[in-house]
């Protein structure tokens, strides 16, 4: 039963991460990292697929090894938060338009206090240049 709950939570997290690709306030990578955690407890095959994914695998590995977020990821989150805040301020009435602003300030502050990946390890994982 526990394994099925982890599997369901992993699939829901992966679905939310997929939706986050389109919606700016819904983050993608944290949901994918959560999905990888859930799959580690339920489906080694799905976990391996995520860890080896060409886009998300590096983020999962960085988080597992150092609780790290890349500088590019931090800036992407900041831009997505800014877009969400502007849209909320333009289209949502007070006081509800302040909810995304508060969420962006809290989440953004937390994101920018996380470690960044070790540059040496990042260079070691990069594919060799082609001649």
pLDDT in tens, 10-50: 999 999 999 988 876 678 888 999 999 999 999 999 999 99
* Tokens 């990292």, located at residue: 33
* Closest to 120 (Cα-Cα) out of 45, 76, 66: 66
Give the pLDDT of residue 43.
Answer: 94
Residue 105 φ/ψ, nearest 5 degrees: -65, -45
Query: Is there a contact between 112 and 74 (Cβ–Cβ < 8 Å)?
Result: yes
Query: Is there a contact between 107 and 81 (Cβ–Cβ < 8 Å)?
Result: yes
Is residue 4 predicted with pLDDT exceeding 90?
Answer: yes
The neighbouring-strand residues paired with 68 are 115
């Amino acid at each position: 039963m526990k394994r099925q709950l982890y599997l369901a939570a992993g699939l829901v997290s992966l679905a939310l991460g997929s939706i986050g690709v389109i919606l700016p306030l819904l983050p993608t990578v944290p949901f994918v990292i959560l999905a990888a955690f859930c799959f580690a407890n339920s489906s080694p095959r799905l976990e391996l697929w995520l860890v080896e994914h060409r886009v998300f695998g590096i983020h999962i590995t960085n988080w597992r090894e150092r609780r790290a977020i890349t500088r590019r990821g931090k800036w992407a989150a900041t831009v997505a938060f800014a877009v969400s805040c502007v849209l909320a301020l333009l289209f949502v009435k007070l006081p509800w338009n302040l909810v995304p602003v508060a969420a962006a300030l809290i989440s953004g502050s937390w994101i920018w206090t996380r470690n960044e990946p070790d540059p040496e390890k990042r260079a070691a994982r990069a594919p060799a240049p082609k001649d």
